[in-house]
Amino acid sequence: MADLHFLLDARRLKAMARARRQALQRTLYQALQEAIAQGRLQAGAVLPSSRDLARDLGMARNGVIHAYEQLAAEGYVQPSRQGTVVAAFAAVSTAVSAAAHIRGQAAWPAGAPVSQRVASCDRRRTPEDDLRPFMPGMPALDAFPFATWQRLCDKALKQGSTLDLGYRQAVGEPELRQAIATYLRAARGVRCHADQVTVTDGTQHSLELCAHILADVGDTVWIEHPGYGGARTALQQAGLQVVPVTVDADGIAPPDAWWQDKPPRMVYTTPSHQYPLGSVLSLPRRLRLIEQARQCGAWILEDDYDSEFRHEGPPLAAMQGQVDDAPVVYLGTFSKSMFPALRLGFIVWPQALADRALGVVGELVRRGRPFEQRALAAFIDEGHFTRHLRKMRRLYALRQAALRDALSAQWPLPAEVLGGQAGMHLVLSLPASGPQAVVDTDLARRASDLGVSPRPLSMYGTGGIAGFNGLVMGYANTHEDRMAAALGQVVKALNPLKPQRM
């Protein structure tokens, strides 16, 4: 019991209590708990009586009793005829820990198997990465009307009741569904009413719902190549067979023969601003896509990505409203138009599908956050949303121009700048072959080490198909006065890659 005598030394425990700035009884409990969990006090060891230990430590007996009771409640000790003894379970815990220590690894192996669905999903990034210059998809958070948003959130909370603390309607709060429908009819030409709208946690969640409601495991879905990685992940996780379809200057371009040879159950597309290349799906292709989908019984998932931020020409109408009874499921999100942490998006179901889809949603999700939804409804209804979008369009046009100027002045390689008609990013092509070739993943990794976050274009590829090499450079979250300096870091990252090729 020499270890126990050392552990319960009064001077040592009091020093620990002072260092941790906590009561002596709490320190006593922690010291005993750690010693038992680590095997230094083994099963069957008898602890001193509360009276004797209180006298030895110079503390109130009630403090010792409290520590013993806490240990007993958690199963570390148990009463017996001998007194308070270390529980037998500790021997098993100690044996496992000791065996792991001998092997030089944790008790649970670091390489423990996971499902095949998630085995390849290990792309990690931190919130700090998202806030750095050139991160695609990050809006200008510094320009968000935070005071207005806070006022509306406070109002929604004050007007709430205890009924709002339970599970909410799975399809979303009525106020927000109505506000979304009203806005979409006026701003995007979407043919819809509130009863067609489902509120979701964002585009990826919307895609998961569409996959479960509209398709069965093994069904085929066409997606854009290159394209949004979140769509690929959501649809693959649902057990669908993802088939990449090449994108050109006029948008997604499925070969006519595919409609006969391998017709899809769903087609995912970003027609207003293709992500990431920035092309716009031409009107002939939109109409052809709708007609072909109708003939083979497929659903088109229209992700109206970045449609709010059109920089050249008038806003483009949504596909959903261009044809009567189009087989189009319309998807939108507030992550880019508001802020990502809001985690609110929406689905507009075709009228013929709405009743059935809305009934199924209730079996798949449990909805909450009524106060944020009502605050967002008020933000839209009171005109703040439209004013914010108008301000952001001007700001993003200014920041895009600053990035183009910086590229013209600093970029040392032959390059083509893609996109720019809409959205919050540009694509900078890189030489893929020849003496000036640069691998986009190498450049993006080096740039990240220097504090900027452009994404390699190749990471947006699908199914191992190559052919794209460049940087996807978000500009919305970088002040125009800092754009040149931020690009200078990318050029600095490029320099070590150039000598052996130039």
Average pLDDT score over the chain = 86
**What single DSSP character describes residue 166?**
S
Closest CA to 268 of 226, 296, 237: 226
Per-residue pLDDT, 311: 79
The confidence band for 4, taking pLDDT boundaries of 50, 70 and 90, is: low
Q: Give the angle 278-282-285 at the CA atoms, nearest 5°.
A: 120
Per-residue pLDDT, 2: 44
For the chain, what are the domain ranges?
A: 2-103, 144-382, 387-497
Give the pTM.
0.77
Closest CA to 488 of 406, 401, 404, 405: 406
Segment 56-66, tens digit of pLDDT: 888 889 988 98
At residue 101, does pLDDT exceed 50?
no
Q: Please give the residue that has the higher pLDDT: either 43 or 134.
A: 134
Per-residue pLDDT, 92: 46
What integer is the mean pLDDT of 22-32?
86
Q: Which of 34-43, 360-369, 413-422 has the highest mean pLDDT?
A: 413-422
Pairing label, strands 266-269, 299-303 = parallel
Closest CA to 412 of 490, 481, 474: 490
Q: Give the angle 9-14-15 at the CA atoms, nearest 5°.
A: 100
**What single DSSP character describes residue 175?**
H
The CATH classification number of 144-382 equals 3.40.640.10
At residue 464, does pLDDT exceed 80?
no
At residue 482, does pLDDT exceed 90?
yes
CATH topology of domain 387-497: Aspartate Aminotransferase, domain 1 (3.90.1150)
At residue 170, does pLDDT exceed 70?
yes
* 399 touches 414 (CB < 8 A): no
Q: Please give the residue that has the higher pLDDT: either 85 or 124.
A: 85
What integer is the mean pLDDT of 260-282?
92
What integer is the mean pLDDT of 305-320?
81
Q: Please give the residue that has the higher pLDDT: either 110 or 87.
A: 87
Per-residue pLDDT, 88: 77
What integer is the mean pLDDT of 427-454?
88
At residue 117, does pLDDT exceed 60?
no
Q: How far apart are CA 86 and CA 438, in angstroms?
A: 63
Per-residue pLDDT, 466: 59
Do the first three CATH levels of 144-382 and 387-497 match, i.e. the same topology? no
Distances (CA, A) of 136 to 52, 244, 427, 455: 66, 22, 10, 7
Structure tokens at 499: 């000598």
Per-residue pLDDT, 104: 47
Per-residue pLDDT, 498: 66
The answer to whether the Cα torsion of 56, 61, 63, 66 is positive or negative is: positive
* 269 touches 302 (CB < 8 A): yes
Core vs surface per residue 257-292: b (16+ CB within 10 A) or e: eeeeeebbbbbbbbbbbbbbbbbbbeeebbeebbeb
* 28 touches 12 (CB < 8 A): no
| Consecutive H or E run containing 269 | strand 266-269
Per-residue pLDDT, 383: 96
Per-residue pLDDT, 483: 95
* 449 touches 113 (CB < 8 A): no
- How many Cβ atoms sit within 10 Å of the Cβ of residue 3? 12
At residue 308, does pLDDT exceed 70?
yes
What integer is the mean pLDDT of 196-222?
93
CATH, domain 2-103, list 1.10.10.10, 3.40.50.720, 3.30.300.250, 1.50.10.10: 1.10.10.10
Share of the chain above pLDDT 70, in %: 88
Q: Please give the residue that has the higher pLDDT: either 5 or 65.
A: 65
151 contacts: CB under 8 Å, gap ≥ 6:
none
Q: How far apart are CA 271 and CA 221, in angstroms?
A: 16
What integer is the mean pLDDT of 486-491?
95
Closest CA to 458 of 447, 472, 448, 445: 472
The confidence band for 478, taking pLDDT boundaries of 50, 70 and 90, is: very high
At residue 50, does pLDDT exceed 90?
no
The confidence band for 95, taking pLDDT boundaries of 50, 70 and 90, is: very low
Per-residue pLDDT, 31: 85
Per-residue pLDDT, 89: 61
Residue 111: exposed, middle, or buried by beta-carbon count in 10 A (0-12, 13-18, 19+)? exposed
Closest CA to 219 of 187, 180, 177, 266: 266
At residue 102, does pLDDT exceed 80?
no
Per-residue pLDDT, 111: 53
What integer is the mean pLDDT of 319-324?
90
At residue 108, does pLDDT exceed 70?
no
Per-residue pLDDT, 34: 83
Per-residue pLDDT, 93: 47
The confidence band for 190, taking pLDDT boundaries of 50, 70 and 90, is: very high
| Consecutive H or E run containing 302 | strand 299-303
At residue 486, does pLDDT exceed 90?
yes
